[in-house]
Amino acid sequence: MEGIKTEKHYVPDASAILAILLPDELHLPTSIKIVSLIDNVNNKFLAPHLLKYEVANGLRSALIQARIGKRVFNKLVKSFIVLPIAYRDVDLVKVSKISTENNLTVYDASYLYLSEVESAVLIAIDKDLKPFSSI
């Protein structure tokens, strides 16, 4: 009989994903830890649809700041698209409530909401979400 594989669920925010995409952040200990979580096939990653736009915008900002060039920008967008992330809708009323109760942006509250309803581990480097993160 084969061992039972237990699936663990994670909700990464945009800061966590950018940390594993941007070349100048990839060597950081937190980034290495996130990459190892993604590489583990027993882990499942969930995110609000908002993640797509936040990551693309973060990559655009890195391009404008000359942290990356245009070719790297295009490569990183393509690398992001293929990450094994399942996108979920969020309840805007509940997200708004979490936002006001925790003094978070509605964007950040959407990650927190999803981690709570999916019983998933929140992965965030962002200073506002870091207190809720388990990484």
Spell out the domain ranges in the chain.
Answer: 8-128
Round to whole Å and give the CA distance between 118 and 49: 15
| pTM exceeding 0.85 | yes
* Range 8-128 classified under CATH 3.40.50.10470: no
pLDDT tens-digit profile of 74-133? Answer: 999 999 999 999 999 999 999 999 999 999 999 999 999 999 999 999 999 988 898 888
pLDDT tens-digit profile of 33-90? Answer: 999 999 999 999 999 999 999 999 999 999 999 999 999 999 999 999 999 999 999 9
Round to whole Å and give the CA distance between 107 and 14: 10
Q: Residue 24 burial (CB < 10 Å; 0-12/13-18/19+)?
A: exposed
Round to whole Å and give the CA distance between 65 and 52: 20
Round to whole Å and give the CA distance between 56 and 65: 14
CB 18 within 8 A of CB 58: yes
Backbone angles phi, psi at 35, to 5 degrees: -60, -40
